């Protein structure tokens, strides 16, 4: 049983999913599949080149030699060649997209196996519903029913002498606006990092980027919390429910922790952090893993840069986790 944010993760089903991803990877990296893939890419490339060259030649030939109104079939050969070119272009794009998607799943699987973690790509709606109820500050976004958690990692990391359970993943939601013909829906992806320290965090407050509405609200309600760092006070704002949690903020947010947050903001701006009784949660814009360098169309292995990407993101947060938990020792 692995810890998950508001609920434990059963291992059996995840192991089955991981085994399927591994089986798919072995299949697409087999010598037979590699040769078939290369042959397909050559055919699509040939279609594109032939279609483009002969399409241009046909267009120039028929438009210059024959009057346009002489026959409705003047440009028929050119159209056929341009269709062949389009088939080649779409075929290459689809093939690249398919194998890129496969390589992303395998990269995550390899990261999980290498570190004795679990990985699940499943879209988890019930977990999102629970998180929205328990932690609405982070997961209560969107105004449609199409929301879910996916691409999750479950495991432990070593912090000092302690092993800290964690849960990482992507959060998808939609925002619908307008009515009738003017209605539009915009999709959003966030990624979260949740850690469960061994010591009890008897607190609950949110740290968010300072916005104009926050400044106006703080002026009216006088709920702002000023700390030692002027730069931190300009860039972040706290949200809390009572004076007890407000009193804990200066104790937890030491000058060192304020500096840690400012450093993280430079690397990964526009993030939120929730310190709550059961966990420390960070929420960032975009996908958990992005801009992958792995290209299995060229080489049947995962890029070392991709392997390091997620580890680096976790390491950036471990420094902050250490500093926060000091206040509760």
User: 33: which 2 tokens?
Assistant: 């599949």
Q: Is the pTM of this model over 0.85?
A: no
Q: Is the pLDDT of residue 217 over 50?
A: no
Q: In whole angstroms, what is the distance from residue 302 CA to residue 290 CA? A: 14
Mean pLDDT in residue range 159-176: 89
Mean pLDDT in residue range 294-299: 66
58 CA to centre of own chain:
46
Contact between 174 and 186 (Cβ < 8 Å): yes
Q: What is the mean pLDDT of the chain?
A: 81
Please tell me the least confidently modeled range out of 69-73, 99-103, 251-255.
69-73
Contact between 6 and 278 (Cβ < 8 Å): yes
Q: In whole angstroms, what is the distance from residue 4 CA to residue 135 CA? A: 14
Q: Find tokens 């390091």 and name the residue.
A: 308
User: 18: which 2 tokens?
Assistant: 């991981």
Please tell me the least confidently modeled range out of 40-54, 134-148, 204-218.
204-218
CB neighbours of residue 50 within 10 Å: 14
Secondary element (H or E) of residue 13? helix 11-28
Task: Output the pLDDT for position 218.
Answer: 47
Task: Tell me which of 271 and 158 has the higher pLDDT.
Answer: 271
């Amino acid at each position: 049983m692995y810890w998950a944010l508001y609920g434990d993760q059963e291992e059996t089903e995840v192991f089955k999913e991981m085994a399927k991803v591994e089986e798919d990877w072995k299949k697409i990296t087999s010598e037979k599949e590699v040769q078939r893939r290369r042959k397909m890419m050559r055919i699509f490339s040939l279609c594109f080149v032939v279609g483009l060259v002969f399409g241009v030649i046909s267009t120039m030939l028929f438009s210059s030699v024959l009057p346009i109104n002489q026959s409705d079939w003047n440009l028929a050969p050119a159209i056929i060649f341009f269709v062949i070119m389009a088939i080649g272009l779409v075929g290459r794009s689809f093939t690249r997209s398919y194998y890129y998607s496969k390589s992303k799943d395998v990269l995550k699987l390899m990261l999980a196996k290498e570190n004795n973690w679990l990985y699940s790509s499943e879209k988890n709606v019930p977990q999102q519903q629970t998180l929205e109820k328990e932690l609405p500050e982070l997961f209560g976004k969107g105004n449609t029913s199409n929301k879910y958690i996916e691409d999750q990692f479950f495991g432990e990391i070593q912090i000092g002498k302690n092993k800290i359970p964690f849960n990482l993943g992507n959060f998808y939601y939609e925002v619908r606006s307008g009515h009738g013909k003017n209605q539009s829906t915009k999709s959003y992806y966030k990624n979260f990092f949740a850690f469960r320290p061994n010591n009890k965090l008897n607190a609950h407050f949110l740290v968010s980027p300072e916005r104009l509405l926050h400044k106006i609200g703080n002026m009216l309600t006088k709920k702002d919390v000023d700390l030692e760092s002027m730069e931190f006070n300009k860039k972040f704002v706290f949200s809390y429910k009572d004076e007890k949690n407000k009193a804990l903020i200066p104790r937890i947010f030491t000058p060192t922790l304020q500096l840690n947050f400012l450093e993280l903001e430079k690397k990964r701006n526009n993030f939120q952090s929730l310190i709550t009784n059961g966990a420390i949660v960070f929420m960032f814009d975009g996908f958990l893993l992005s801009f992958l360098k792995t290209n299995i169309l060229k080489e049947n292995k995962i890029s070392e840069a991709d392997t390091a990407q997620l580890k680096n993101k976790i390491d950036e947060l471990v420094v902050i986790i250490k500093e926060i938990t000091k206040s509760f020792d």
